[in-house]
């Protein structure tokens, strides 16, 4: 008994072609145990898949002739979905974490900020050092620049400068990344 086609190509699900969705006359066939059966008519390959109670799935449509495999398509979709989820868990999205300082910050406070930044680098994130300038402090940009450079000196063993310190409005911003 022929199984109805599952999944396949639709506008919402651009997966591989399955069973009767394969329109080409001849295909190269690999059976469910991984053995090559060679090039044969699509109808013959479909008949072999039906006798085994499996699906004929087009796995390499760009080849000439296309490569099709006899397999359980539902199981195949389940396994690929699980692999994608596992790969997604392993990926780390790099985030830009912000460390705020002031031009008149005390040395111990800088050490606390540097320790926090080291933790961000260990997590694989970038660190944006922002020196906030208030009131007349804008006239003394050199103080803000000195504080940003001091923070970088403390982190120079684990970080490198991606974007040099520059003034944006009332904020001196410097971007650091892990070495």
- Tell which of 71, 88, 105 closes a domain: 88
pLDDT at 11 over 80: no
Q: State the pTM of this model.
A: 0.54
Statement to judge: residues 132 and 71 lie in one domain = no
| Same domain assignment for residues 164 and 104 | yes
Domain identity same for 57 and 100: no
The domain tally of the chain equals: 2
141-174 confidence digits (pLDDT tens): 899 999 999 999 999 999 999 999 999 989 999 9
Task: Categorize the per-residue pLDDT at 9 as very low, low, confident or very high, splitting at 50, 70 and 90.
Answer: very low
Angle between helices 141-155 and 107-122 (to 10 degrees): 50
pLDDT at 38: 84
CATH number of the domain bearing residue 127: 3.30.110.10
Statement to judge: residues 82 and 126 lie in one domain: no
161 and 110 in a common domain: yes
124-147 residue pLDDT tens: 899 999 999 998 888 888 999 999
Q: Is residue 101 part of a domain?
A: yes
> Does residue 113 share a domain with residue 72?
no
Domain that holds residue 144: 96-178
């Amino acid at each position: 008994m022929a199984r109805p086609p599952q999944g396949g190509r639709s506008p919402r699900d651009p997966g591989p072609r399955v069973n009767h969705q394969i329109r080409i006359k001849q295909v190269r066939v690999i059976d469910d145990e991984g053995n090559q059966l060679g090039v044969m008519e699509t109808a013959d390959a479909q008949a072999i898949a039906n006798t085994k109670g499996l699906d004929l799935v087009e796995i390499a449509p760009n080849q000439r002739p296309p490569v099709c495999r006899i397999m359980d398509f539902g199981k195949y979709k389940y396994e690929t979905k699980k692999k994608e989820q596992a790969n997604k868990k392993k990926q780390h999205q790099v985030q830009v974490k912000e460390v705020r300082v002031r031009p008149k910050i005390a040395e111990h406070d800088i050490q606390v900020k540097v320790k926090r930044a080291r933790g961000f680098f260990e997590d694989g994130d970038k660190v944006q050092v922002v020196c906030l300038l208030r009131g007349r402090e804008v006239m003394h940009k050199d103080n803000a620049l000195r504080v940003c450079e001091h923070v970088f000196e403390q982190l120079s063993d684990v970080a490198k400068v991606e974007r040099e310190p520059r003034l944006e409005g009332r904020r001196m911003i410097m971007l650091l990344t892990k070495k």
